[in-house]
A and B are shown apart, each in its own frame.
Chain A
Amino acid sequence: MPRADLVNLQKKSLNLGLDLQGGMHLVLQVDVSKVPEKERAGVVDRTVEVIKNRINNLGVSEPIVQKLGHNRILVQLPGVLDRDRAREIIGKTAQLEFRIVADEAVLKNTIDRIDRYLAGLDTLQTDTTDTLLMNRPFSSLLMQYGADYVVPEEYVDSVKKILSRPDIQKLIPPGYKFFFGNRVDAGNMVYRPLYLLRDRAELTGAYITNAYATVSQDPMNPNAPVVVLEFNPRGATIFARVTSENVGKRLAIILDNYVYSAPVIREAILGGRATITGLQSMIEARDLANILKAGALPAPVKILEERTVGATLGKDSIQKGTRAIIFGYLFVLIFMMIYYRVAGVIASFIQILNLFLIMAILAALNATLTLPGMAGLILTVGMAVDANVLIFERIREELRLGKSFAAALEAGYSRAMSAIIDANITTLIVALVLLGFGTGPVRGFAVVLSIGIVTSLFTAVFVSKVIFDYLIYIAGMKKVPV
């Protein structure tokens, strides 16, 4: 099987809760009281957007950011254990900036100097073609992508480390600074562009009054997605000056210290409106407009609840949970086979089928398996055999009355049915009530319990009857030992 397919398949398998795979769970409170009453609508949704954008830059796989109730936000970060990162996500106010991108020659030159320095060569000599340069220690970490340099995700940390060294900093031309771009997932590889930008921000988000996504009016490039920015008068003046002074250069749009895009300034922009082009899709355009408009967190946010589970504990929990499931099932199934003989074997088969069904439905619903959820799996078997016990006991009673096996079987099923249905509905009610309570682990338990009730009703009543009917009416057995 090709790797991509395998990865896809894994994505479709069971989601593990944070308590099993390790990670971080936060509940944030958005303090809307600091926002003027007129602007309160949508503040929480905008905060969710801003936080989502920031988390995407953390490179977390499958994060969850969602509104919880009126003014709370649930954030789940699988695999993230660094609590400082949480502060990074919420503590900082988003900073939107515009900076001029260094000329290509300056960038090339700087990278070259760093290569030479790291290779132990004189940084001032530019014309030597020394063999030591064959293994360019710095630029070998980079890739050229059009006019840009990009850094594959696995090298980002090393590149960051090199660039933050004081001796390397001296090699960067004064007045310039390196910035990373937004994380780009190109399917077969993940990377971040690397930009050399002017140290001084020309303009900040404080001057933006509006941003929206639309399609290009440019006849050369019709229907291309663009984002239109509107500045206030002061911003418009600054923007006009900056663009007129830098025609032909690139203007980087930076959010929270990451470059979002770096379009070329084609002409001086005087009307207080700027258009960002070069966007891949309308979705990207809308996202960008959203972020530009949202920019900073619209309201202060504080952490109400913070939980982390280490990966080791998570693995340990999976192991313990699995062991409990295996032994729980074994004990119950062995008991059923001893106590109810052939009927017990049928019941055991049904319970295993039930386990697979629950897991399959969990995966299909994209539900999350938590440690209490695993407890729910094993509890389900204990309770699910109840339907079989009810039926088998009734069959025994009917047999004692002297009925034939086939008659006792029918009577057993039909008479036990009302109790089975009532019992399952009440448990389902409780499970659904529980579903409305709390998030995370407890919810995982309630989900498993609810699914387990439905599947066990199906397997214990319907599937077992089909098996009995097959044995009696088709295989021609006179009776099945109960």
Chain B
Amino acid sequence: MRFFENPSIDFMGLRRKAYLLSGLLIVVSLASIFFKGINWGVDFSGGTLLQVHVEGVDIGKVRSVVLGMGLRSATVQNFGEPNEFLIRYKENVDAGQVVKGLKDKLGKDVRLDRTEKVGPTIGRELKEQSIIIVIVALLLMLLYIWIRFDLYFGLGAVLALFHDSIITLGMYSLAGLEFTTTTVAALLTIIGYSINDTIVVSDRVREYLASFEGMKLVPSRLYEIFNKAINSTLSRTIITSFTTLIVVLALMIFGGPVLFGFAFTLFVGIVVGTYSSIFVVSALVYELKTRKARQAHGNK
């Protein structure tokens, strides 16, 4: 069985269209991140979260009871199942009292499944820490690709990683999912995953470049090499993305609500990462390399 028999698609020729699409996605993502904002989970915002299980009560009833106990900042939503409710407060709240209040007012058995109470200091620190580790991861990727390939590949790869992270974060913001520490873990995984695709293509480019050793690399030949490298690794890129998407889908479907945000991040990240490693990275490296070639030419 084979999906791609000797493909020869002119990916480099499509690069301007890809820039346009990427630009559009980035604008939409940034707009969502800045205007709609990110739905910070208790980990980051501080406050109290309760997950309770009550049989046979509709959400409106739970909400009115929770709001009736004071603290107007409380929000109530369903979590995965109709009997599971997430109650969130911006403040530090005694979970035991909330449960007791619910039991009394609803006249039903209330099972407390989960509580999270995080002080504001921890939340602030966690935000800083998250930004730092994402930057550290990106810098390490740049450094590694720089050492193994060259600075152009490194820059192209890291630009693409920024592209992937921003779009994934933007989609996350659009979907309104709660941003937790596992989301950070998913973002970092995407960085690690997306770089793999880039490496596979770059590795092939390097292999083809080696056969032109000593010859002058005119832009048209570089163009051809990049296209050939993307095409010959296309089958692998698609199949690996496909198998990974399958498992991520399994996580989304079977993994339950706790893992949904995590799986969603991975799903978007893998789709965007695959797209960028086919259409964006090589194009960026090509631009960087030909600019250098042109500059060198102009200096002569």
Is residue A480 contacting chain B, with contact meaning CB distance below 8 A? Answer: no
- Distance between Cα atoms of A462 and B193 in the complex (Å): 22
Closest to A309 in B: B114
Q: Which residues of A, 396-430, contact B by the 8 Å Cβ criterion?
A: 396-397, 400, 415, 418-419, 422-423, 425-427, 429-430
- Distance between Cα atoms of A164 and B130 in the complex (Å): 51
Known: A306-B115, A433-B137. A332 touches B188 (CB 8 A): no
Contact A336 B243 (CB under 8 A): yes
A390 in complex: contacting residue of B1, B236, B259, B263, CB < 8 Å: B236
Give the distance to chain A from B208, nearest Cβ to Cβ, in Å: 12
- Distance between Cα atoms of A435 and B230 in the complex (Å): 33
Q: Which residues of B, 115-157, contact A by the 8 Å Cβ criterion?
A: 115-119, 121-122, 126, 129-130, 133, 136-137, 140-141, 144-145, 148
Contact A378 B53 (CB under 8 A): no
Contact A375 B192 (CB under 8 A): no
B185 in complex: contacting residue of A19, A339, A397, A446, CB < 8 Å: A446
Known: A324-B255, A375-B262, A378-B251. A305 touches B1 (CB 8 A): no
Interface-lining segment among B23-31, B62-70, B195-203, B289-297: B195-203
A residues engaging B (CB < 8 A)? 19, 27, 29, 81, 83-84, 303-310, 312-313, 316-317, 320-321, 323-324, 327-329, 331-332, 335-336, 338-341, 371-372, 375, 378-379, 381-383, 385-386, 389-390, 393, 396-397, 400, 415, 418-419, 422-423, 425-427, 429-431, 433-434, 436-438, 441-442, 445-446, 449
Contact A382 B244 (CB under 8 A): yes
Closest to B207 in A: A415
Give the distance to chain A from B203, nearest Cβ to Cβ, in Å: 4
A316 in complex: contacting residue of B118, B148, B199, B256, CB < 8 Å: B256
Contact A307 B115 (CB under 8 A): yes
Contact B96 A429 (CB under 8 A): no
**Cβ contacts under 8 Å, A371 to chain B:** 258-259
B256 in complex: contacting residue of A320, A378, A397, A422, CB < 8 Å: A320
- Distance between Cα atoms of A27 and B140 in the complex (Å): 30
Contact B181 A429 (CB under 8 A): no
Contact B199 A332 (CB under 8 A): no
Contact B236 A393 (CB under 8 A): yes
Q: Which residues of B, 214-253, contact A by the 8 Å Cβ criterion?
A: 232-233, 235-236, 239-240, 242-248, 250-251, 253
Q: Point out which of A19, A29, A339, A429 has the most chain B C-beta atoms below 10 A from its C-beta.
A: A429
B residues engaging A (CB < 8 A)? 1-2, 6, 51, 53, 94-96, 111-119, 121-122, 126, 129-130, 133, 136-137, 140-141, 144-145, 148, 181-182, 184-185, 188-189, 191-193, 195-196, 199-200, 203-204, 207, 232-233, 235-236, 239-240, 242-248, 250-251, 253-256, 258-259, 262-263, 266
Contact A324 B259 (CB under 8 A): yes
The count of A-to-B residue pairs whose CB atoms sit within 8 angstroms is 209
Known: A84-B96, A429-B137, A431-B192. A304 touches B247 (CB 8 A): no
Contact A434 B133 (CB under 8 A): yes
Contact A306 B247 (CB under 8 A): no
**Cβ contacts under 8 Å, A307 to chain B:** 114-117
Q: Point out which of B53, B95, B236 has the most chain A C-beta atoms below 10 A from its C-beta.
A: B236
Known: A327-B254, A381-B247. A426 touches B192 (CB 8 A): yes
**Cβ contacts under 8 Å, B185 to chain A:** 372, 434, 437, 442, 445-446
Contact B111 A310 (CB under 8 A): yes
- Distance between Cα atoms of A153 and B264 in the complex (Å): 47
A-B contacts, 6 of them at CB < 8 A, read A381-B243, A382-B245, A400-B6, A426-B144, A426-B195, A433-B133
Known: A29-B121, A83-B95. 15 other contacts (CB 8 A): A305-B117, A310-B114, A324-B251, A338-B1, A341-B1, A379-B248, A379-B251, A386-B196, A389-B240, A396-B235, A422-B203, A429-B140, A433-B133, A438-B184, A442-B182
